[in-house]
Amino acid sequence: MHNFKELKIWQKSMNLATSVYKLLIEYPDFEKFGLISQIRRSAVSIPSNIAEGSGRESNKDFRRFLGIALSSAFELETQLILSSRFGFISEKKFEEHSVKLQEVQKMIYGFRRSLNKTTRLKNLLISIFY
C-alpha cells in the first residue's frame, strides 16, 4: 500500500485538475453540460484513480488503476485538443496544459512500469526461495 498524498504523480495530477477547472471558467455557458462536464470528469478521474489504486493490496491492482488514470489522461488530452479546435481556449493555454498533461502521462506510465518490474522481481524471488 502507498500513501497517495506522497506520490508525485498524484500531486502533479491534482495540480493539473485544479488548473483545468480554472481554465473551464473561460468556456461558453452552452458547453456546461457538454464538453465542460466531460473535461471535469476526466481531469478528476486521474488523481482519483491514482489514490484509489494506491490503497489496493497488490501492485497488480494498483497498476490496473494507474491504467485507468492514464486512459483518463488521454481522454482529457483529446478534450483539450477539441477545445482548442473549437476556439474555447487560446493556443497558449492549450500548450501550457498539454505540457502539464504529457508530464503526468509520462509519470503514470513510468510508475506503472516500475510496479510491473517490482512484481516480476518479487515473483522471481518467490520461485527461487520457495
Per-residue pLDDT reduced to its tens digit, 73-103: 999 999 999 999 999 999 999 999 999 999 9
Strand (E) or helix (H) holding 30 = none
Strand (E) or helix (H) holding 64 = helix 59-86
120 CA to centre of own chain: 24
pLDDT at 58: 87
Burial class (CB in 10 A: 0-12, 13-18, 19+), 60: exposed
- The listed CATH number (3.40.50.300, 1.20.1440.60, 3.90.1150.10, 3.40.640.10) that belongs to domain 4-129: 1.20.1440.60
88: number of CA atoms within 13 Å, CB side? 21
pLDDT tens for each residue of 13-26: 999 999 999 999 98
What is the rounded distance in angstroms from the CA atom of residue 122 to the CA atom of residue 127?
9
